[in-house]
């Protein structure tokens, strides 16, 4: 009798415990389900927005072209090239307007499309987002030659995936540009621009060296490195004298126009253009030999603009411009400047978008795509979150 009672009480306790556990678990199950649905909806919105960005040309279809960009002229936002039927090929002029500042921290002289305008055009008023267009892998260069020696080239290049893992067997093609004095006196000195190539392959640590010797009276040197992993290419560059000169010119391309503007420093001397060359995905193209009229300064000539028919069709990755100018503490000489920013660093858009309310952890959704700009491969990362 007592045993049966105990069994009955035990059954009641077990059933009650199971019921309490079930009741307690239901809210958690419901919360997890709702969270999963919310994340999927957010992912759908992000996918739709990213497809519009990368696959639509926008309206007008050439909204990024022309000098004097007006953000209000963009009726529909899209970065795709209207001249290429392939998917994920972006227009370099449109992408340029997503760069807020130049390499010296000044507002983009070619015009900037504010993220809030893009958010409105894409119907993302209740969302925040960021967009980056970066090199598909990371390339860093270390100069192993003492500063000041321009005749010896010895670079150590390191190639890694963006997660930091080294990439062995990457092909590093170095294109070394050098300006050499060919004659003339102090006011009439003449310079010519030459280039040589050197290639190597990275080892198991993702490293290789580029070694070369130059002869003659070298005035300046810079090197473009094209790195190939499989069938993916990226470029970066390095100045032989260190960082880019901040007192010569800022380089931009809009459509078929090359535009040079004065930098933050305010030298009074003229900076004459000696020559302009373009580096494309398959060739080096000589564009122009300067004259005495091709100059910029901080007086009457603060901007230089010239049209080169077919330049955009050529898809220039980088421009190399040889100037005759005065450099701080070194006098007048030939100085090489490379552009445009941030293209010569291997990326196109370092950071673009809204920052308010950006979540941490898994509250946002990130999508990645591979795109092509001017024949080079880039990695797009788009992050969206609900505000």
pLDDT one-digit tens code per residue, 353-367: 987 666 665 578 999
> What does the alpha-carbon distance between residue 130 and residue 282 come to, in Å, rounded to a whole number?
32
| Contacting residues for 254 by C-beta, under 8 A, at least 6 apart | 64, 65, 66, 67, 69, 93, 96, 110
Assign 19 to helix, strand or coil. Answer: helix
> What does the alpha-carbon distance between residue 246 and residue 264 come to, in Å, rounded to a whole number?
7
Angle at 48 between CA 352 and CA 92, to 5 degrees: 45
> 227-277, pLDDT tens digit by residue?
999 888 889 998 887 777 878 889 999 999 999 988 876 666 888 999 999
**Mean pLDDT throughout 14-29?**
52
Is-above-0.85 flag for pTM?
no
> What does the alpha-carbon distance between residue 94 and residue 121 come to, in Å, rounded to a whole number?
15
CB 300: neighbour CB atoms within 10 A?
Answer: 7
How does DSSP assign 272-318, residue by residue? EEEEEEEE-SS-EEEEEE--TT-EE-SSS-SEEEEE-TTHHHH--SE
> What does the alpha-carbon distance between residue 275 and residue 244 come to, in Å, rounded to a whole number?
18
Q: What is the pLDDT of residue 363?
A: 73
Cα distances from 15 to residues 3, 289, 357, in angstroms, run 18, 92, 46
At the topology level, CATH places domain 137-248+260-302+317-336 in Immunoglobulin-like (2.60.40)
> What does the alpha-carbon distance between residue 373 and residue 109 come to, in Å, rounded to a whole number?
21
Instruction: State residue 228 phi and psi, 5-degree precision.
Output: -120, 125
Angle at 113 between CA 109 and CA 349, to 5 degrees: 80
> What does the alpha-carbon distance between residue 330 and residue 318 come to, in Å, rounded to a whole number?
27
Among residues 178, 160, 162, the alpha carbon closest in space to that of 170 is found at 160
Q: Chain-wide mean pLDDT for the chain?
A: 86
- Return residue ranges of the chain for CATH 2.60.40.10: 137-248+260-302+317-336
Q: What is the pLDDT of residue 67?
A: 83
Q: pLDDT at residue 30 above 70?
A: no
- Look up residue 200 and give its DSSP letter: E
| Percent of the residues in the chain that have a pLDDT greater than 90, as a whole number | 58
């Amino acid at each position: 009798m007592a045993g049966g009672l105990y069994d009955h009480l035990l059954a009641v306790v077990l059933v009650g415990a199971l019921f309490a556990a079930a009741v307690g678990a239901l809210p958690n199950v419901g919360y997890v389900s709702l969270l999963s649905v919310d994340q999927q909806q957010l992912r759908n919105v992000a996918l739709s927005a990213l497809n519009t960005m990368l696959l639509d040309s926008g309206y007008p279809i050439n909204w990024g072209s022309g000098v004097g960009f007006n953000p209000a002229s963009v009726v529909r936002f899209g970065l795709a090239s209207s001249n290429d039927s392939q998917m994920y090929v972006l227009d370099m002029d449109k992408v340029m307007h997503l760069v807020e500042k130049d390499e010296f921290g000044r507002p983009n002289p070619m015009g900037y499309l504010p993220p809030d305008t893009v958010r409105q055009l894409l119907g993302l008023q209740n969302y925040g987002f960021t967009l980056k267009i970066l090199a598909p892998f990371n390339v860093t260069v270390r100069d192993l030659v003492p500063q000041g020696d321009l005749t010896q080239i010895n670079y150590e290049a390191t190639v890694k995936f963006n997660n930091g893992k080294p990439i062995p067997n990457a092909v590093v093609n170095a294109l070394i540009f050098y300006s050499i004095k060919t004659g003339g006196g102090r006011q009439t000195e003449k310079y010519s621009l030459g280039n040589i190539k050197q290639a190597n392959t990275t080892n198991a640590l993702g490293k290789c060296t580029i070694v070369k010797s130059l002869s003659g009276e070298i005035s300046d040197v810079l090197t473009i490195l094209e790195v190939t992993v499989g069938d993916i290419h990226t470029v970066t560059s390095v100045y032989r004298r260190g960082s880019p000169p901040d007192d010569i010119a800022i380089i931009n391309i809009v459509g078929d126009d090359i535009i040079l503007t004065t930098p933050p420093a305010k030298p009074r001397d003229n900076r004459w253009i000696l020559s302009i060359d373009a580096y494309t995905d398959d060739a080096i193209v000589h564009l122009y030999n300067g004259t005495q009229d091709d100059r910029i300064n901080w007086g009457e000539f603060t901007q230089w603009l010239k049209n080169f028919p077919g330049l955009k069709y050529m898809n220039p990755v980088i421009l190399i411009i040889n100037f005759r100018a005065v450099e701080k503490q070194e006098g007048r000489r030939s100085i090489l400047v490379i552009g445009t920013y941030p293209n010569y660093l291997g990326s196109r858009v370092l950071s673009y978008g809204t920052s308010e309310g950006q979540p941490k952890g898994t509250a946002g959704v990130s999508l990645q795509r591979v795109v092509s700009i001017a024949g080079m491969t880039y990695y797009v990362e788009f992050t969206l979150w609900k505000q």
